[in-house]
Chain A
Amino acid sequence: MSAIEVASLRKSYGALNAVDSISFSVAKGDVFSLLGPNGAGKTTTIEILEGLRERDGGDVKVLGLDPWKNGYEVHRSIGVIPQGFKFVDYATPREAVKYYAALFGVKADADAILRRVILEDSANVYFSKLSGGQKQKVGLALALVNDPELVFLDEPTTGLDPQARRAVWEVIRNLKSEGRSVLLTTHYLEEAEELSDTVAIMNHGRIITAGTPAEIIARHGSGERIRVRGDQKLADYLRKAIPSVPVDYHADSGEVTISVGRKEDSLFALEAIERSDLPWNDLSIARESLEDVFVKLIGGEGHGQAAVGAKHEVARAATEGA
């Protein structure tokens, strides 16, 4: 049995189809990431799975149960950190954990849980006095109190410093190694690539692609990517020299990127750069990341990472026009 099964799930707000007939499943013990730009429908989907919102259509099974009808049972076996988690201002993290333990009627070692999310130093600080990242960690700690089989983490690392983010990764890896399933959303694609067994990329309420990160990169990526510091002239030169290969110029970073599909294209590209007699440096060759693919798929629509894609399109249009 899968931890989560979703078939043709729909939810609309007025004319807006926030979730537009999506289907996916999360295998037990897997980390599944739901990715997508702001407003894609991730939180809506997650909250339907948590039994917090009623769906308009489709079938949903969470741990074998319908979360809207059997919320009470489902809630005993899931842990949740909602997006933008908030708690009672004048309660400390330790009190919050103990409170949850009492509500669930479980014995929980508050200190151990706080240590797990690296919050032991602030265990006795009022929630209102915690930093944004520390507040998120309280949410994470509370999600763990009832020893859940399945954990929903809606942007658990947003606003965390790199170290804290890695601490959360560690928590997620541990959850996985303990055999728990995780549904994660994040805007950090390297994080999704790093942690997930499976990802689904959503846009406008639909899943546009899903699979393991490697599968998605193979399916939508163009292979390798060469980055080299250079100017507009270099980009123009390369476009003429190797017309079969897409070349982009990023004016803001002063970088030229070349997406190479076939191995021999890399050699042609390198040779062309050398032959150009134009100034260049800082050359690197890397496999395309999930982020590169994401940007390509989502295009330039009001999303942090996608914004790069937007400029990228504009820059290309400008050079082509010239």
Chain B
Amino acid sequence: MAVSLRRIRADLSVFGRGYLRSRVGLFFSLIFPIILILMFGAIFSGNNSGPIPVYVQNNDASSPVFQVSGGFISALNSTKAMQITLVSPGVNITKYAIDHSASAGIVIPQGFGADFIDGNPVNVTVYGNPTSSTTGIVEGVTSAVVNSFNLHRVNGTAVLGISQQSVVSKSYKYIDYLVPGLIGFSVLTSPMFALVNISSQYKRDKVFKQLSLTPLTKTEWLLSKITWYVALTVVSFVLMSTIGVALLGANISYSLGIIPFLFLGPFLFVSLGMLVGTVSKSVESAAVVGNLVTFPMMFLSGTFFPVATMPMYLQTVAHALPLFYVIDGLNNVMLYGNYGGALIDLGVLAVLSVVVFVLAVRFFKWRED
């Protein structure tokens, strides 16, 4: 039977209005993900957002080759990971750090420049609290700068001016992952929870039976919901990416490649929600099955943490979850510019969407027998 746009529009208008009026759906689709992004953005930027205050004591400042230690300090500085305060030589650095409640200090020994040029081993000392995560960062950054200095020495490159090409090459901040991750989160949760609920309730209340007595078809009903959730996803995308970029300093790129994911994601999860709701015997069992399907996906698909940071076996699990391909695709497009990878994600999603949609229409019973 031909799909009628008029009927889809009529259904969309009733559904959309109901959605906006009930406010619950709106909260979970738009407001809740924003709360999450602000919350997680704030929690995880607390550690590494501002540069870490570090006291540096340069005992080699008065050497004839003071440029080496000076270059080292400016290299540390240019990582932007540290906020360096110079401490005059002769001060007890550990005492000083404690007095100033700083967690880390770096001491450059006397003769640093000369030893470096002559190729004699020489150590920079990092003082810090081993239990503090900021100390770890200071150590890591310092050792990266040290490595970079060593490399340049071996290559025989001039020592001065090294500082510019220091440690952090192309790295991503947590918030960069969080934006596509939470967009994926809302692509999953808002249609899934709504459709599981609606489809099982409509079945119980015989609303579907009622609708089956009109010319509206199951496909049209489902397409109307898909249209709604695609629109909602686009709004959610705009809100979240704007907040991510403007408020939380996310570094993401906008490209047309994002669009197919914003379309296929809701398409897939509206259908999946419908399928779960329609095969369940009651509203309660639908909710249980819906949660069983939704929750693992919600946490394991790269929503809150990049999948690459998870243990290997969980990464394998992630690849079996449909949401993974939405988030991976968004990462590929928005962060890595990896369009080849995005195309694969898109392929997987397209196949999944069609299969689930067909199953949903097939199992979705208007009437009983």
**Chain A residues in contact with chain B, CB under 8 A?**
47, 50-54, 71-72, 75-76, 78, 80, 82, 84-91, 95-96, 98-100, 102-105, 126, 142, 146
Contact partners of B10 in chain A: CB under 8 A: 98-99, 102-103
CB distance from A103 to the nearest CB of B (A): 4
Q: Is the CB of B18 within 8 A of A90?
A: yes
Contact (A76, B215) CB under 8 Å given A82-B210, A102-B6? yes
What residue of chain B has the Cβ atom nearest to residue A55's Cβ?
Answer: B369
Say yes or no: A102 contacts B367, CB within 8 Å.
no
User: A95, B367: Cβ atoms under 8 Å?
Assistant: no
Q: CB-CB contacts of B1-42 with A at 8 A, as 1s and 0s?
A: 100001101110111011101100000000000000000000
Contact (Cβ within 8 A) A75 B213:
yes
Other 16 A-B pairs with CB < 8 A, given A53-B367, A82-B209, A126-B21: A75-B213, A76-B215, A80-B210, A80-B213, A84-B206, A89-B22, A90-B22, A91-B14, A91-B17, A99-B11, A99-B14, A100-B214, A103-B11, A103-B216, A104-B214, A105-B215
CA distance A82 to B18 in the complex (A): 22
A-B contact pairs, 24 of them (CB 8 A): A52-B209, A52-B367, A52-B368, A54-B369, A71-B212, A71-B367, A72-B1, A80-B210, A82-B210, A84-B206, A85-B210, A87-B210, A95-B17, A96-B14, A98-B10, A99-B10, A99-B11, A99-B13, A102-B7, A102-B10, A103-B216, A105-B215, A126-B21, A146-B214
Q: In whole angstroms, what is the CA distance A71 to B216 when docked?
A: 12
Question: CB < 8 Å: which of B209, B214, B369 contacts A103?
Answer: B214
Please measure, in the bound complex, the distance between the C-alpha atom of A86 and the C-alpha atom of B13, giving whole angstroms: 18
Interface string of B331-357 (1 = CB under 8 A from A): 000000000000000000000000000
Cβ-defined contact, B215 with A86, below 8 A: no
**Of A52, A53, A71, A82, most B-chain CB atoms within 10 Å:** A52
Question: In this complex, what residue of A is CB-closest to B368?
Answer: A53
List chain A residues, Cβ under 8 A from B9: 102
Q: How large is the interface on B (under 10, 10 to 19, 20 to 34, 35 or more residues)?
A: 20 to 34
* A53 CB → nearest B CB, Å: 6
A104-B215 contact, Cβ under 8 Å, with A82-B206, A90-B18, A91-B17: yes
Closest-by-CB residue of B relative to A74 is: B213
Residues in A whose Cβ lies below 8 Å from that of B11:
99, 103
Q: When chains A and B are docked, how far (Å) is the Cα of A51 from the Cα of B21? A: 34
Q: State whether the Cβ of B317 lies closer than 8 Å to any Cβ in chain A.
A: no
Chain B interface SS verdict (over half): helix
Question: Which one of A50, A84, A105 contacts B213 once the chains associate, using CB atoms below 8 Å?
Answer: A50
Let me know if A91 and B215 touch, CB within 8 A: no
- B314 in the interface, Cβ–Cβ < 8 Å? no
Among B293-309, those with CB < 8 Å from A are: none
In the complex the two chains form, what is the Cα distance from A85 to B210 in whole Å?
Answer: 8
User: Contact between A86 and B214 (Cβ–Cβ < 8 Å)?
Assistant: no
> From A50, which residue of chain B is reached at the shortest CB distance?
B213
Report A89 CB to chain B, min CB distance, Å.
7
A103 to chain B: which residues have CB within 8 Å?
7, 10-11, 214-216
CB of B212 within 8 A of CB of A52, answer yes
Measured CB to CB, the nearest residue on chain A to B214 is A103
Residues on A with C-beta less than 8 A from B206 are 82, 84, 86
Q: Which residues of A contact B22 (CB under 8 A)?
A: 89-90
Assembly CA distance A82 to B1 (angstroms): 25
Is B235 part of the binding interface, using a Cβ–Cβ cutoff of 8 Å? no
Give Cα A272–Cα B205 distance, bound, in whole angstroms.
Answer: 57
Distance of B205 from chain A, by nearest CB (Å): 4
- Closest 9 interchain pairs by CB? A102-B10, A90-B18, A86-B205, A90-B21, A103-B214, A54-B369, A52-B367, A99-B14, A103-B216
A90 to B10, CA, bound (A): 15
Whether A105 contacts B367 in the complex (CB less than 8 A), given A82-B209, A88-B207, comes out as no
A interface footprint on B182-215 (CB within 8 Å = 1, 0 otherwise): 0000000000000000000000011101101111
How many Å lie between the Cα of A82 and that of B368 in the bound state?
Answer: 14
Please, which residues of chain A bring their CB within 8 A of the CB of B216? 103
B17 CB to closest chain A CB, in angstroms?
7
CA–CA, A256 to B7, complex, Å?
Answer: 61
Cβ-closest chain B residue relative to A86: B205
Closest to B4 in A: A105
Residues from chain A with a CB closer than 8 A to the CB of B15 are 88
A95 to chain B, nearest CB (A): 6
Interface centre among A51, A91, A98, A126 (most CB of B within 10 A): A91
Chain A nearest Cβ from B12, distance in angstroms: 10
Residues of B within 8 A of A146 (CB): 214
A51 to B7: give the CA distance in the assembly, Å.
Answer: 21
B225 to chain A, nearest CB (A): 13
Give Cα distance in the complex from A90 to B216, angstroms. Answer: 19
- Shortest distance from the beta carbon of A258 to any chain B beta carbon, whole Å: 46
Residues from 206 to 240 in B contacting A, C-beta threshold 8 Å: 206-207, 209-210, 212-216
Chain A residues, Cβ within 8 Å of B210: 80, 82, 85-87, 142
Partner of A89, one of B18, B214, B367, B369: B18
**B residues within 8 A CB of A100?**
214
By beta carbon, the residue of chain B nearest A91 is: B14
Determine if B214 and A90 form an interchain contact, defined as CB atoms under 8 angstroms apart: no
Set of chain A residues within 8 Å of B14, measured between Cβ atoms: 88, 91, 95-96, 99
Chain B residues with CB under 8 Å of A91's CB are 14, 17-18
With A and B bound together, what is the CA distance between A187 and B215 in angstroms?
A: 31
Nearest chain-A residue to B18 (Cβ)? A90
| A105–B368 CA distance with the chains assembled, in angstroms | 26
The residue of chain A having its C-beta at the shortest distance from the C-beta of B22 within the complex is A90
Chain A residue, CB-CB nearest to B204: A86
Set of chain B residues within 8 Å of A80, measured between Cβ atoms: 210, 213
A86 CA to B198 CA in the complex, in Å?
13
Decide yes or no: A87 and B213 within 8 Å by CB, A53-B368, A105-B6 being known contacts: no
How many Å lie between the Cα of A53 and that of B21 in the bound state? 34
